[in-house]
Chain A
Amino acid sequence: MKNVVALTQREFTTYIYSPIAYLTAFAFLVLTGILFTQNTLLPGEESSVRPLFFAMGSLFVFCVPILTMRLLSEEYASGTIETLMTAPVTDWEVILSKFLGVFLFYTGLVVLTVIHLLIIAIFGQIDVGVTLVAYLGLLLLGAFYASVGLFASACTRYQLLASVIGVGLLAILTFVTDFLSLQFPGARAVLGKVNVRGQFDVFCRGIFDTTSLIYFLSLTVFFLFLATKVLESKRWR
């Protein structure tokens, strides 16, 4: 457990000093700002938080893999993986700490979007309960995205490739299944259940559903498990 604390701390500190992390965060906030003013902040529009959260969810498909790409790829490329893996820490501790480090940074980013909510609150009413559930959804979504990004980073020493794999996987899991369920109404029942956006939308509408909670948590754990296996397999070569 102490190892996890030490490793997480180091991972989080790296983000605090990383220009790429700041650029990503900046781009994210600017884009959500634009989407926000164009969709939600119009006279006569309903002052719902749902479109805003939905847009943020989509942007994270691109932002999270850029945040996570360095997690293991950088260690492979610079060789620091050798000092890390010969220290008395388990593979699982390494994966969990990397995940927690990026998740903490992500949480900070999500907290900053409270600004948008405050603006809505000035011009109209917001439902605090719905907003809180939507934020919970955003955190769960981020955890899942981060685990997929971490898995991608565990696969390769090239950061760019890791981000491409990450975005690719997330795009398949979110957009493609979404698209397919529109194309094939017959399969909509099934696809809607496995579709990330479908599950996320439940939270955006302010509904707290334990099925969706378990959906995100189990997928997150599954990808963290996969990442651990990949890291383990890197020893056997």
Chain B
Amino acid sequence: MIEVRDLTKFYGQRCAVDHVSFSVEEGEIVGFLGPNGAGKTTTLRILTCYMPATSGAASVAGHDVFTESLAVRQAIGYLPENVPMYTDMRVREYLNFRGKLRGLEKSARDAGIKRVAEQCWLGDFIERPIQQLSKGMRQRVGLADALLHDPKVLILDEPTVGLDPAQIRETRTLIKDLARRHTVILSSHILPEVEATCQRTIIIAGGKIVASGTPEQLKDRIRGGSRLIAEIHGPTSDVAGGVEKVNGVKHVAHTSNNGWVRLTIDTDKNADPREDIVKMSVQKGWRLREIRLEVGSLEEFFVQITAQQQMRDADRRRGTARPQEGAQA
């Protein structure tokens, strides 16, 4: 449904998107996650034909965004980041106008407005001038506008910013429902949001894709940095030394308290030595009251990426280039 190949965008000298490639299948919900200035909005603006890329190619619903721009624009519903709209119009009037631009006939417009008014809860303020609406209400009008012509592809730039918690939940449910018949790509800085709504996440930082996959895949990939926590009753040095020799254990740190040794165990990538540790302590007659895997959270991973990007940005400002570290995902 969406194909992006080697997309690059320069604003003057500044590279905002750097050889980005990805694809989104029909009916998928994909989350575009990244810190401020990562290039999310820029990528989405290229996909919606608002601005052309410097190089690379992108197609939406089978149409090239550059050569078949009108067909792409007909096939998408777009919610821009700042939700700009004509504030002198009333909500219904605005939606009617937008429907005309998408080529909807009168009856289709009326039906469409009725539908989106329900989906986006515009009931209370559909007759009011947009000027008088709160940020969250406008956000809902913007979403309604994007849905009006029942587009194949929805491109939503931070769809839940400015909504109250109840609305956020409703919006997530709405987006999930939509994904049955539409393809959705949405951007966010907030990881739990993407985890809650999207089947697949693309993490972007500094204009580059640093990781992508389902939340489970991403977690698997960062398990390399995960740890075991165990508490075993026994002679401190024996316990620590014994555990260190177990297959797959890289490093052990320990503290002891009343004969209980608390171990923090770094493991090799993809190794899970929990069973071996349990067996060993049974053989030696040590008592074991806790053992658990501490999976590195996606949140940590994301924060780490963000921090790295900020460091690189700071370096760039100082004029000393640091080699691209990327996240070790």
Contacts and interface: CB of A to CB of B under 8 A. Distances in A.
Contacts of B45: 82
Contacts of A21: none
B51 A6 contact: no
B70 interface: yes
A83 B87 CA distance: 13
Interface of A: 2-3, 5-7, 10, 14, 17, 78-83, 85-90, 235-237
A7 B80 contact: no
Contacts of A87: 73, 98, 101-102
A6 B97 contact: yes
B85 A80 contact: yes
Given A6-B97, A87-B98, A88-B74, A14 B88 contact: yes
B284 interface: no
A79 B82 contact: yes
A86 B76 contact: yes
A88 B102 CA distance: 6
B56 interface: no
Contacts of A235: 50-52
Nearest to B45: A82
Nearest to B104: A2
B50 A78 contact: no
B51 A237 contact: yes
Contacts of B87: 78
B84 interface: yes
A90 B45 CA distance: 17
Contact of B101 (A14, A81, A89, A237): A89
A80 B88 CA distance: 12
B52 A88 contact: no
A80 to B, nearest CB: 4
Contacts of B98: 83, 87
A17 B103 CA distance: 26
Interface residues of B, number: 28
Nearest to A235: B51
B49 A79 contact: no
B84 A88 contact: no
B181 interface: no
A17 to B, nearest CB: 6
A85 to B, nearest CB: 6
Contacts of A81: 84
Contacts, number: 64
B155 to A, nearest CB: 9
Contacts of B59: none
Nearest to A79: B84
B148 to A, nearest CB: 11
Contacts of A78: 84, 87
B302 interface: no
B88 A17 contact: yes
Contacts of A86: 48-50, 73, 76, 78, 80
Between A5, A78, A83, the greatest number of chain B beta carbons within 10 A of the residue's beta carbon is seen for A83
A10 B84 contact: no
Nearest to A77: B84
Interface in B72-128: 73-74, 76, 78, 80, 82, 84-89, 97-98, 100-103
Given A79-B80, A80-B86, A85 B103 contact: no
A236 B52 contact: yes
Contacts of A82: 45, 50, 80, 84
A25 B84 CA distance: 29
Contact of B70 (A80, A88, A237): A88
Contacts of B145: 83
Contacts of A2: 100, 103
Nearest to A7: B101
Nearest to B47: A86
Between B11, B76, B84, the greatest number of chain A beta carbons within 10 A of the residue's beta carbon is seen for B84
A10 B103 contact: no
18 contacts: A2-B100, A2-B103, A5-B100, A6-B100, A6-B101, A7-B101, A10-B89, A17-B88, A79-B82, A80-B86, A85-B50, A86-B78, A87-B98, A88-B101, A88-B103, A235-B50, A236-B51, A237-B51
Interface in B157-180: none
A90 B73 CA distance: 11
A112 to B, nearest CB: 24
Contact of B84 (A5, A14, A80): A80
Nearest to B145: A83
Contacts of A89: 101
Given A78-B84, A88-B71, A88-B102, 13 more contacts: A78-B87, A80-B84, A82-B45, A83-B80, A85-B49, A86-B49, A86-B50, A86-B73, A86-B76, A87-B73, A88-B73, A88-B74, A235-B52
A89 B97 CA distance: 13
B61 to A, nearest CB: 12
Contacts of A17: 88
A79 B86 CA distance: 10
B75 to A, nearest CB: 9
Interface in B283-303: none
Between B52, B74, B76, B103, the greatest number of chain A beta carbons within 10 A of the residue's beta carbon is seen for B103
